[in-house]
Amino acid sequence: MNPNWAEENLQTIRTLMERSALYRRALAPVMITCGMAGLAGGAVGWLGKLDSYTAFVAVWATTAVVALSCSLLLMRRQALRDSEPFWSAPTRRIAQALAPPFVVGAIMTDVIFGTANDEGMAIAAILIWCLSYGCGIHAAGFFMPRGIRWFGWIFILAGLGLITFLFSAPVPVWAFISPHLLMAAIFGGLHLAYGIYLYFTEKKNPA
Amino acid sequence: MNPEPFLQLDRVIHEKGRLGIMSALAATPELSFTELRETLAMTDGNLTTHLRILQEGGFISLAKSYQNNRPLTTCSLTKAGRKAFADYINLLEQIVRQNKG
């Protein structure tokens, strides 16, 4: 018998324990909050006619910060209620999985500035956000219940569908589509729909 | 070398597949059959056999329910299973210390 078998067994146990520790907090309130923030952001941008690229990015960066802050508060409240650490190992892994695509999305938002007119740039930003957000959610889904990965795929497919639609359209369609309403539909609508679905299907007292 | 700790190791847990199941369940309150199967890369039949042995030994409990009209089997460690796993780890650590000393 290998003299190090006990040490190897311990290492295997450690690896398996790390791999199987999933993030199990109730996600319905977080998704619904993000959905509401998305719809509110769309309404503010559209009704306020904040159509320049800078204003568009400012509206949605603010919306993202509000949604993220509210989500973190909800997650912290759940952790406190269950007497568990907020910044747990699964939470850290989710943050690490989300970080690279989110950083790419943020940098690309700046890179596309000046590549087209305002509406064109806003649509390009939406494409990039859909793809990077979808990739981030999909990556984080490996440390969360399985359905989250499908949610990530929906964003990726929405981004790819939008690219296909824009390239196949005979006229520049962004002239007829409000980028704010598109964002509200994609980000607000999808989060809200998924949150409502989770509300009715998620265990009410997550283990 | 003192063989005592090795002899005390629980034979049911010590098997590779079952040790994997116990380790995965020790890190989380519960896992579905599918999550366990994906984490451990086991076949349905293999996992079912090991789960049955662990359940018969009183180490794990299985709960059957429905989610979205689909059957869902959820596995979790029992109190006895958690203690047996902790004891197993302690013995492994003893053996490691003994090997190094």
Instruction: Look up residue A117 and give its two tokens.
Output: 């007119």
pLDDT interval class at A149 (50, 70, 90): very high
Contact, A16 vs A187, CB < 8 A?
A: no
CB contact under 8 A, B92 and A10: yes
Closest residue in B to A202 (Cα–Cα): B67
Given a cut of 50, is residue B74 above it in pLDDT? Answer: yes
Domain membership of residue A206 (yes or no) is no
Closest residue in B to A16 (Cα–Cα): B24
Given a cut of 50, is residue A207 above it in pLDDT? Answer: no
Distance CA B63, CA B44 (A): 17
Domain membership of residue A21 (yes or no) is no
What is the complex's ipTM, to 2 decimals?
0.81
Residue type, A65: V
Q: Is pLDDT larger for residue A24 or for residue A68? A: A68
DSSP output for chain A:
--TTHHHHHHHHHHHHHHHH----S--HHHHHHHHHHHHHHHHHHHHTT--SHHHHHHHHHHHHHHHHHHHHHHHHHHHHHTT--SS-HHHHHHHHHHHHHHHHHHHHHHHTTTSS-HHHHHHHHHHHHHHHHHHHHHHHGGGS-THHHHHHHHHHHHHHHHHHHHHH-SS-GGGTS-HHHHHIIIIIIHHHHHHHHHHHHS-SS--
Closest residue in B to A12 (Cα–Cα): B20
Q: Which of A155, A166, A165, A185 has its CA nearest to residue A46?
A: A185
Q: Which domains does chain B have, with CATH numbers?
A: 4-94 (1.10.10.10)
User: Which residues of B fall below an 8 Å CB-CB distance to A?
Assistant: 19-20, 23-31, 34-36, 39-40, 67-68, 76, 89, 92-93, 95-96, 99
Domain membership of residue A1 (yes or no) is no
Given a cut of 70, is residue B8 above it in pLDDT? Answer: yes
pLDDT interval class at A205 (50, 70, 90): very low
pLDDT interval class at A206 (50, 70, 90): very low
Domain of A77 in residue numbering reads as 26-201
Mean pLDDT of A13-22: 81
Domain membership of residue A8 (yes or no) is no
Closest approach of B3 to chain A, Cα-based (Å): 13
Question: How does pLDDT run across A89-104, given as a tens digit for each residue?
Answer: 788 889 999 999 999 9
In this complex, which of B19, B34, B35 lies closest to A13 when CB atoms are compared?
Answer: B19
Percent of chain A with pLDDT over 90: 50
Count: domains in chain A: 1
Closest approach of A146 to chain B, Cα-based (Å): 8
Domain membership of residue A47 (yes or no) is yes
Domain membership of residue A197 (yes or no) is yes
User: What pLDDT is attached to residue B79?
Assistant: 95
**Its pTM surpasses 0.90:** no
Distance CA A112, CA A123 (A): 11
The answer to whether A99 contacts chain B (CB < 8 Å) is no
